[in-house]
Amino acid sequence: MSGQGTVTAPNLPSMRGDRPGQRPSPRTLRVVGTRPRLTPGTLRRRLALAIALVGLGDVAALSIALTVVEGSLASTLLFGGFAVTGLVAIGSYRLRCTLSALDDAPRLAGAVGVAALAAAPFAGRGSGVLLQAALLVPSIVIIRMFSYATVRAWRRRGLREPAIIAGSGHVGIELAEVIEMHPEFGLDFIGFVGAPFPDLPGPLLGEIARLPEIVSEHRARRVIVAFGPTREADLITVLRTAMLRAVQVHIVPRFFEVGVAPRGSDVDDLWGIPVYRVRQAALQRWAWRFKRALDVAVAGTMLLLALPVMAMAAVAVKFASPGPVLFRQRRIGQHGEEIEVLKFRTLPTDHIDDAFNTAEARYHNIGWFLRRSSIDELPQLWNVLRGDMSIVGPRPERGYLVEQFNDEVYGYRDRHRLPVGLTGWAQVHGLRGETSLRERVRFDNHYIEHWSLWHDFVILMRTVAAVFQSPAHGSSPDAGDPQRQHFGVAATTAFDNSDETDPLGTSDHSHPRRP
């Protein structure tokens, strides 16, 4: 829409004011004057400028607090550093749709309070840290009132992010109306994605299945899920794919009309309609750059420390049975790309992959020990250094199994959104060997959607404990699991790359075929 004026929307369904069974009356909507959309580059720069404005305001507030309440140089630097770190850690420089300094005040006070408590033991008596914190909180809130007012004014003049509403029902229509009437939310409504619906107040851009392509085509930065007639099962996979396009996803909670809605910094109130921001730290570029740097550091260090053990293992494998020391196998990594996974060979070279049966596995003399101790996995540290794998992530699988499970196991395709790993969230829960494939997929996707560096640390610590544990009890392949249906119970172990002799569920039973 362009220009200013009004538009009459006859028969516009609404959640407010229309009685059941009554034909909604025509409503006159105010259409806010818009300028041509900003190019993606210009929009990014202006959004960065808006964030910088808020940040400079906080720096000014910190300067006021540290100047008015004098303290030692050491205490001032400590408290100032902790305060800035705390404000960044709570995400206070992520511009929400609804900007309110008073709503932000409890979180800001909490961050500043923690910073003061952290600095106080090092500052000494009479440092004034607590007084500085007491003055800093109201200073930040007051200055943010002016900063937010400026950002809202910029939004009214065109600083708005292109937004698509996924869901063409009554709630989606209400949202479109709200976005058009309140440009201070910083959203530029593009259109709907979903099934046809009567009297939509905007263009229907396509079906839900085309959401990722529509996001790219219209360069949308936000997707608001308003449900509607679309099945949730159809929506989840599409949303997971769309998130890979660096789009921020918001969801309108079910039954929000009766108070069933989350609260907190991830929830925006769009004129009475709560929208929940879906966190996707694992899919953000900065997060994976940091994770990649950590992978290189950890894998490099572990590789150096493990060199003596790996040398002894290589000699043992060489003398235990004829054949190469390393076993190489093509596996599927991130985004369906093939990678070559390295392992110490633990089975005879004449082992036939297709004829594998756990009861007939013929380990050579050293093979059982290498698998039981997971030493056979150490060469995969080189895969991590090469960038094929990560330390923590979903375990990789063979290509023909991936093709089969993509179509037969719900959510299996989505587990390849991130790099595969040496160990994972499913493995530390004992989901290896003859366990439910669907449960493993659920844990893999849960890891991706709730990723954090601390989560990785927890998995690594639990991996050490898992070496001495048996596979999970009470989690067996379901009758509907394709691994049971098509290949039998014995083969389920091979599909998870493990059996009871492999504590981490990472060892490979797929060894070279007979020439």
For residue 223, the domain's CATH number is: 3.40.50.720
Q: Do residues 97 and 267 lie in contact, with contact meaning Cβ atoms separated by under 8 Å?
A: no
Residue 360's CB is within 10 A of a number of other CB atoms, namely: 9
The reply to whether 502 falls in a domain is: no
Q: For residues 276 and 225, give the distance between their C-alpha atoms in angstroms, rounded to a whole number.
A: 9
Stronger pLDDT, 19 or 209, i.e. the higher one:
209
Q: Does residue 24 lie within any of the structural domains?
A: no
A 10 A CB-CB count for 473 gives 8
Q: Among the listed ranges 59-68, 169-178, 439-448, 503-512, which one has the minimum average pLDDT value? A: 503-512
Predicted pLDDT at 354: 42
3-state secondary structure of 243: helix
Q: Looking at per-residue confidence, does 348 or 380 come out higher?
A: 380
What mean pLDDT is predicted for residues 90-106? 92
Q: For residues 121 and 199, state if they share a domain.
A: no
On whether residue 10 sits in a domain, the answer given is: no
- 134's CB contacts (< 8 A; 6+ apart) are none
Query: How does strand 421-423 pair with strand 390-392?
Result: parallel
Q: Which residue has the higher pLDDT, 456 or 289?
A: 456
Name the domain boundary from 155, 184, 199. 155
Choose one of 92, 124, 155: the last residue of a domain.
Answer: 155
Has residue 252 got a pLDDT over 50?
yes
Burial pattern 205-239, b for ≥16 Cβ within 10 A else e, equals bbebeebbebbeebebbbbbbbbbebeeeebeebb
Domain count, the chain: 3
Mean pLDDT of 247-254: 88
User: Are residues 187 and 44 located together in one domain of the fold?
Assistant: no
- The answer to whether residue 501 is domain-embedded is no
- Any idea which of 87-101, 210-224, 410-424, 487-501 has the lowest mean pLDDT? 487-501
The domain boundary, picked from 257, 278, 299, lies at 278
Strands (E), 54-108: none
pLDDT of residue 496: 38
Same domain, 469 and 410: yes
DSSP state of 397: B
Mean pLDDT computed over 269-289: 79
Q: What is the mean pLDDT of the chain?
A: 79
Task: Please report which confidence band the pLDDT of residue 473 belongs to, taking 50, 70 and 90 as the band edges.
Answer: low
User: Quick check: 49 pLDDT over 90?
Assistant: yes
Same domain, 402 and 338: yes
d(CA 384, CA 387): 5
Residues 371 and 478 in one domain: yes
Q: Residue 384 belongs to what domain range?
A: 285-495
Is 368 in the same domain as 436?
yes
Residue 181 lies in a domain: yes
| 319 and 442 inside one domain | yes
Examine the domain organization and report whether 129 and 78 are in the same domain: yes
pLDDT of residue 350: 67
**Is 300 part of any domain?**
yes
- Report whether pLDDT(154) > 80: yes
Question: Any idea of the CA torsion for 155, 158, 160, 164, to the nearest 10 degrees?
Answer: 140
Q: Structure pTM? A: 0.72
Whether the CB-CB separation of 308 and 378 falls below 8 Å is answered with no
Q: How far is CA 354 from CA 124, 351, 510, 512, in A?
A: 70, 9, 8, 10
Q: Are residues 70 and 101 in the same domain?
A: yes
| In a shared domain, residues 373 and 479 | yes
Residue 367 parent element (H or E): helix 367-373
Assess if residue 9 is contained within a domain: no
330 in the same domain as 443: yes
Same domain for 321 and 443, yes or no, is yes
Among 53-67, 78-92, 130-144, 419-433, the range scoring the smallest mean pLDDT is 419-433
Please write the tens of the pLDDT for every residue from 165-199: 998 888 999 999 999 999 999 999 999 998 888 88
Does residue 34 lie in a domain region?
no
Q: Which amino acid makes up residue 399? A: G
